[in-house]
Chains A and B, each alone.
Chain A
Amino acid sequence: DTAVSQTPKYLVTQMGNDKSIKCEQNLGHDTMYWYKQDSKKFLKIMFSYNNKELIINETVPNRFSPKSPDKAHLNLHINSLELGDSAVYFCASSSGGTSGNTIYFGEGSWLTVV
Chain B
Amino acid sequence: QKEVEQDPGPLSVPEGAIVSLNCTYSNSAFQYFMWYRQYSRKGPELLMYTYSSGNKEDGRFTAQVDKSSKYISLFIRDSQPSDSATYLCAMRGGATNKLIFGTGTLLAVQP
Contact = CB atoms under 8 A, between A and B. Distances in A.
Given A101-B32, A101-B34, A108-B41, A44 B101 contact: yes
Contact of B98 (A40, A41, A90, A98): A98
Interface in A59-114: 90, 92, 98-99, 101-108
Interface residues of B, number: 21
A15 interface: no
Interface in B61-111: 86, 88, 92, 97-99, 101, 103-104, 106
Interface residues of A, number: 20
Contacts, number: 49
A92 B99 CA distance: 12
A54 interface: no
Contacts of A45: 98-99
Given A40-B8, A108-B42, A99 B97 contact: yes
Given A41-B38, A98-B97, 16 more contacts: A4-B43, A41-B104, A42-B104, A43-B44, A43-B101, A45-B98, A56-B98, A99-B92, A101-B34, A101-B46, A102-B46, A102-B49, A103-B46, A104-B45, A105-B43, A106-B43
Interface of A: 4, 40-45, 56, 90, 92, 98-99, 101-108
